[in-house]
Amino acid sequence: MTPAQTPVAEGEVTLYIGGVHASRAPVVIKTLLGSCIAVCLHDPVAHVGGMNHFMLPYGADAQADGAARFGVHAMDRLIGETMKVGGDRRRFVAKVFGGAHVIGIRSAQGSVPAQNIEFVRQFLETEGFPVLNTDVGGEQPRHVHFHTDSGRAFVKRVAGSAQLVQREQRSMRTPPAYGDVTLFD
């Protein structure tokens, strides 16, 4: 278990930014998303699946602590973890959630949520994983519950989530340090 994932109850795991979890056993993986993205991969024949939760498309060395905060590494880890528990990448199907503009800044083409959505769309297309469902964009945070055995995902939009907005604003003021790069000013 990493700091980015926490067991909630038997059969449940909660992911935070940088979390990746896959399971052969039936598990419900939960997360709360604002501008971040969560991708759920499922192998419908092996009945295994996994989810990640990433903040930005690119950054950090793949071996660096917190590398899974970045989509490029989070996706590689999700594919690898799902294969380790018995999934066959030739059968993977995907569901994608998040990418909301939750901090009250007007939506823009180069915004973080827009970059996240475009990154994951291109990544999944390049890898050849069919996308069965998406719920991305908008202005509301989302609670996502993904059932690894069935591949079912449940999404609830969170209206007026002031706490999530405050957390996102704090993270913009005090970004994590990744080398000499400043993610936000």
Alpha carbons 124 and 74: distance in angstroms, whole number: 13
Active site residue 36: yes
Q: Locate tokens 């069919």: which residue?
A: 130
Tokens linked to 131:
């996308």
Sequence-distant (≥ 6) Cβ neighbours of residue 47 within 8 angstroms: 148, 149, 150
Residue of 36, 39, 60, 136 marked active site: 36
Alpha carbons 107 and 64: distance in angstroms, whole number: 31
Amino acid at site 113: P
Alpha carbons 181 and 48: distance in angstroms, whole number: 37
| 3-state class percentages of the chain: helix first, strand second, coil last, to nearest 5 | 25, 30, 45
Amino acid at site 7: P
Residues labelled catalytic: 36
